[in-house]
Amino acid sequence: MQCGREPGGSAVDRQGVCPAASATMFDGVNGGRNAGRFCWRLAGTFGVSRIQGTYARTIATCQECLFFKKMEAQTDISSA
């Protein structure tokens, strides 16, 4: 998402490292590294220019995200 929350990114001092960039439990899902291509399954990722909460509370926002739509078009994310 180029939000600056990757390790060493410009926003890390203010907002911390994004869980999608550091959570290893989804490494390889949708062909991504860590959870970088499965960010909607993690609390604390960015959405609508702010850090989001739990999956259940934010999935509707994620489904409107251009990155989510790109992943949806490329893969079967409903089963991931």
pLDDT of 70 strictly over 80: yes
Summarised one tens digit per residue, pLDDT across range 7-65 is: 999 989 998 888 889 889 999 998 889 988 888 888 878 765 666 666 666 778 888 88
Beta bridge partners of 47: 50
Q: Give the separation between CA 15 and CA 2, rounded to whole angstroms.
A: 14
Q: Considering the entire predicted model, what is its pTM?
A: 0.69
